[in-house]
């Protein structure tokens, strides 16, 4: 993409309405614009990151055996009346009436709708286990939408729903998602800590929130420092016992969020010198809730041993749009964003230092074409602007690699290659650059 033609409305000034770094940087880097409180438009640069995050989420859901479908944003109130949540949900639910005076709503989550789809189609344990997910916009009329996409009113969520014949089988489904979540966040360059979460009135202990440590996080977290060093298994573990052992190893250290924190229990289980009390951002939530919805909505399956029973369910959310902000909170410096390569909107920024130099034009155009044909996504700053402004823009939008080419370098046959994360610079020939990066693996 040539920057001269790209819609990238960057801002020099720090927007006064933004309180935290990720919100400021997303506005300044031209990634989002607010349309009304907690509701945003995603501009081209922001949308690219959102799509890359979606792709990682989708790939890991599929690898864990979940199947993608797509449910609508607008739902009928009837199903929510069946489950009893239509009245319970309160003001966070955006309620709508259609022209026939039917009660509709903009979905804040999808347990009811997926249970309805399930009960219409599945009658036997033979069709289980089943895990269905979608990546869809949600609406929750949050009292205090803030921090940009971190706590929006409209936000993008991946929500998966598992169906099993009994609690033991449901635990396997839960563990698969648990392991998939660790892989998902690790691929985005994040360290996510699974925190035991409150299961509320339903009880049980099968609920974890996945938290990214960040000073501006809204959750207070307590955990053992060993969490920060633990290894993530990057391939799915198929054997149920091995999977259980892996999940146990991840959850044996005491970790909890503020809402369920019992100080005495915590102090007893973790030595003082190993304790971390920090703040974090919730990026995912896995939850086993048994037969809560299947009982209320009569979603039953026939059993092998005869008779029928309400299906056991779990739900598994990831805050896809919140993750864009969370990655920035975890990866930035004073000059701007520092994208991990796996979610960066472009792989390279190519800076042409001077306009109106025919040789330089040819060399830059040529390099741009070569990198592009090798599958790399390149943002080519071909504008007629001061070098200082170009450097500042590139640092702000945080692409992993910057290639800087000017008349002097060209005469010496060298480009300058800057790595955004370390700031390291090196001079190498164009040929060496192309050999070093070669074809993009798994690229376009
Ligand atoms: P929170 O405690 O932050 O309000 P929640 O417990 O209500 O979140 P869930 O119902 O578990 O959220 O939703 C799954 C995921 O969706 C959360 O882990 C979070 O990453 C994301 N999410 C929830 N609410 C919002 C929001 N208002 N804006 C952006 N992302 C959100
Ligand atoms: Mg939650």
Q: Is this model's pTM higher than 0.75 or not? A: yes
- State if residue 181 touches ligand 1 by the CB under 6 angstroms criterion: no
For 177-227, the pLDDT digits (tens) are: 999 999 999 999 999 999 887 766 555 568 999 999 888 888 888 888 888
- State if residue 138 touches ligand 1 by the CB under 6 angstroms criterion: no
User: Could you tell me how many helices (H) and strands (E) the chain has, helices first?
Assistant: 14, 23
Q: Collapsing DSSP states into helix, strand and coil, what is residue 33?
A: strand
- The highest-level CATH class for domain 3-337 is alpha beta
- State if residue 283 touches ligand 1 by the CB under 6 angstroms criterion: yes
- The confidence score (pLDDT) of residue 444 equals 42
DSSP state of 209: E
DSSP state of 99: T
CA distance 420 to 309: 56
Q: How many CA atoms lie within 13 A of 68 on its CB side?
A: 13
Domain ranges of the chain: 3-337, 348-437
> Across the chain, what does the average pLDDT equal?
93
- The confidence score (pLDDT) of residue 262 equals 52
User: Quick one: what percent of the chain has pLDDT higher than 70?
Assistant: 94
Q: Collapsing DSSP states into helix, strand and coil, what is residue 267?
A: helix
* Superfamily in which the 348-437 domain is placed by CATH: Anticodon-binding domain (3.40.50.800)
- State if residue 151 touches ligand 1 by the CB under 6 angstroms criterion: yes
Residue 210 CA, closest ligand 1 atom number: 18
The residue with tokens 């396997």 is 172
List alpha helices for 270-398, DSSP H. Answer: 292-296, 320-330, 358-373, 387-397
For 66-119, the pLDDT digits (tens) are: 999 999 999 999 999 999 999 999 999 999 999 999 999 999 999 999 999 999
Q: Residues with beta carbon < 5 A to ion ligand 2?
A: 285
For 372-411, the pLDDT digits (tens) are: 999 999 999 999 999 999 999 999 999 999 999 999 999 9
């Amino acid at each position: 993409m040539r920057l001269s033609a790209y819609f990238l409305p960057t801002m020099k000034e720090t927007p006064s309405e933004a309180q935290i770094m990720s919100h400021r940087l997303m506005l300044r880097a031209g990634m989002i614009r607010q349309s009304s409180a907690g509701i945003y438009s995603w501009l081209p640069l922001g949308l690219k990151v959102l799509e890359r995050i979606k792709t990682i989420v989708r790939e890991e859901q599929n690898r864990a055996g979940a199947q993608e479908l797509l449910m609508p944003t607008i739902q009928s109130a009837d199903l929510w009346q069946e489950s009893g949540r239509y009245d319970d949900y309160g003001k966070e639910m955006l309620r709508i009436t259609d022209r026939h005076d039917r009660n509709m709503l903009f979905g804040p989550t999808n347990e009811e709708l997926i249970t309805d789809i399930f009960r219409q189609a599945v009658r036997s344990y033979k069709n289980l286990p089943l895990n269905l997910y979608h990546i869809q916009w949600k609406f929750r009329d949050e009292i205090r939408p803030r921090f940009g996409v971190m706590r929006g009113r409209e936000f993008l969520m991946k929500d998966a729903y598992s169906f099993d014949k009994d609690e033991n089988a449901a635990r396997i489904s839960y563990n698969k998602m648990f392991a998939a979540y660790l892989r998902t966040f690790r691929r985005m360059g994040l360290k996510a800590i699974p925190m035991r979460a409150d299961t509320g009135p339903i009880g049980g202990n099968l609920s974890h929130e996945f938290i990214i440590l960040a000073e501006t996080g809204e959750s207070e977290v307590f955990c053992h420092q060993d969490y920060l060093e633990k290894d993530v298994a990057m391939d799915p573990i198929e054997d149920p016992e091995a999977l259980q052992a892996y999940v146990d190893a991840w959850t044996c250290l005491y970790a909890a969020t503020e809402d369920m924190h019992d100080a005495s229990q915590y102090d007893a289980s973790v030595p003082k010198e190993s304790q971390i009390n920090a703040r974090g951002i919730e990026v995912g939530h896995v939850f086993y809730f048994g037969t809560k919805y299947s009982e209320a909505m009569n979603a039953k399956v026939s059993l092998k041993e005869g008779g029928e029973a309400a299906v056991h369910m779990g739900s598994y959310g990831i805050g896809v749009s919140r993750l864009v902000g969370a990655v920035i909170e975890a990866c930035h410096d004073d000059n701007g964003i520092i994208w991990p390569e796996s979610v960066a909107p472009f792989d390279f920024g190519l800076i042409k230092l001077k306009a109106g130099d025919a040789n330089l034009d040819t060399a830059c155009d040529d390099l741009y074409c070569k990198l592009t044909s090798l599958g790399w996504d390149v943002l080519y700053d071909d504008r007629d602007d001061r070098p200082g402004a170009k450097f500042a823009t590139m640092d702000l939008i945080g692409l992993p690699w910057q290639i800087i080419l000017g008349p002097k370098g060209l005469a010496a046959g060298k480009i300058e290659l800057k790595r955004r994360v370390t700031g390291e610079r090196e001079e190498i020939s164009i040929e060496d650059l192309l050999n070093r990066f070669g074809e993009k693996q798994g690229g376009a």
